[in-house]
Chain A
Amino acid sequence: MNLLKVIIDFISNQILGMRWLNEVVGKLLKVLFGETFAQGRWGLSIQFFIYDFIKIGILLCVMIFIISYIQSYFPPERTKKILGKFKGIKANILGALLGTVTPFCSCSSIPIFIGFTRAGLSSGVTFSFLISSPLVDLGALVLLTSIFGIEIAVAYVVAGLIIAVIGGTIIEKTGLGNNIQDFVYNGESVDIDSPELSRKERIDYAKGETLATYRKVFWYIVIGVGIGSLIHNWIPKSWIQTVLGQNNPFSVLIATLFGAPFYADIFGTLPIAEALFAKGVGLGTVMAFMMAVTTLSIPSLIMLNRVVKKKLLIAFIVVVMIGIIVIGYGFNAAQIFFT
């Protein structure tokens, strides 16, 4: 049992967390610029920046490749057919699970919403799918493991799935899910057989997605790592503790409300989450921040606005935010209770 823990810790810290890389960069800076500079604020900032940027870059490329390969088995057209076979809470849960593995870019979210609705999928299932998509990510699971360890990473994913399932169910059961624009219903549902892909085609697809995602997310990572570096080395711990620390009962609320209007890819939020956590911010507060930033984005809300009526759009935003806040307080409490 002990050996297993050693192995998991090794994977968490050295393979995913790449702590050895931090050491290497630190030594390199010492050699190039001398001990005083390397240990000073600027030196440490630069060290963090280089180490975190490379680490996230490598993790991103490896993760996106593997995930895209897996996702090539779950095109939206197939997901729609699978979900059509289930009813009730089972369908919601499946919708949330498939939401994490079905790939689609933001411009496909409208056709997917329309397609699901016309196929007769309940609003609950469709929304469970839409909520879990940005919220729960296989990539997030791996990246969170690198910072917080596997138990917390799994807890994050489970929490996200729960928000998606409950959120979708609430939207449907309260009848809010019926506030969909009329044109969405006007049309038939077409099922197609998704083309079977060869291994080479899957690899090509995964390669393409890796490159495209890296390019798209590059600046989010730079900014995220920059802010993380700032928090690590420049902002006093006491400031952060006052606003986001465990002694501030509003920390989760602040983190959620502050994070919601911003959007960043999860890879960009990680260095910030890392830095905040290191400065003693509660686990739940950090998670709430990450979830708020990655789930609600202006482009996706604009898209959603075209297919649902205002009432439902607001309901969607409120349900997701409340879910995040509840999870945030829950994890903060669990952290205090268990440590």
Chain B
Amino acid sequence: MADGFVIETADLRKTYDGIDALRGLTVSVPTGSIYGFLGRTGAGKTTTIKILLGMARPTAGRASVFGLPAHSPTASVDIRRRTGFVGDEKGLYDAMTVRGMIRHTASFYPQWSRELEEQYLRRFDLGAERGIKTLSRGMRTKLALLLALCRGADLLVLDEPTTGLDPAATEDVLQALVGHAADHGTTVFFSSHQLTDVEQIADHVAIIDRGRTAVTGALDDLRQNYRRIQLVFDGDAPAYTFQVKGVERVKRSGRVMTVLSSAGIDGVLGEARQLNPVSTDSAPVTLKDIFLDTVAVED
């Protein structure tokens, strides 16, 4: 694994029928991390996952998993052998029973753990003889998770694992992920538009917006470096363009100028001094704020 990254993409682009699903996505997922892949619906999360698993081929750019090229059909088989996947619709074979689905899936993975299988069957309270068609969404998710966890994968790729689940089921799923990652050192890459899930269990995040990476990094670094700085002026806040690095966004409203900085406050405050604000104030920024500020702004 080159440089300790399980997944690496560089300027990844994908056009589906003339529509740009990805427009330059660059992410590096460190080995052993729980990586939250955040974006609004339609931002390109599922497309990225499909490319990583060889279900779709990139139009341009590079994507590798375990250092293997994801676009190569032969390498892709090796990638999938070491990867557990939970799709966003929790798709399984409706005609099978829980047990049948498990045996079918297990047959593809020589390292399948019967012990983990029994453990998760009990823990998730999945009736082995039940038909898949009769399972609730939460149960399907848990079964899909079981299938992904028991195969001895080095990487788990989950597309919106908690979407549509009630809080209790969400907690069960996240807890199983965290516990599994702690026990086995498995790298977890999960997409979500649920900020709370990402904040809770991720240590690295990428925020993507309309097919492009908007923010990436260690979550702790983001929490430590992102600051919202408020400058209050005597008259209307001046129209000013900051030169200092890390200014993500500036909003003016009457006497108040709000600056979102991704590099702490000192640079911004130093530069702001020449504008003679009457008061300055700063506050830490939550992931939600970062998300809303980088993604949801209409331009």
Do A and B bind? no
> Which B residues contact A (CB, under 8 angstroms)?
none
**Which residues of A are interface residues toward B (Cβ below 8 A)?**
none
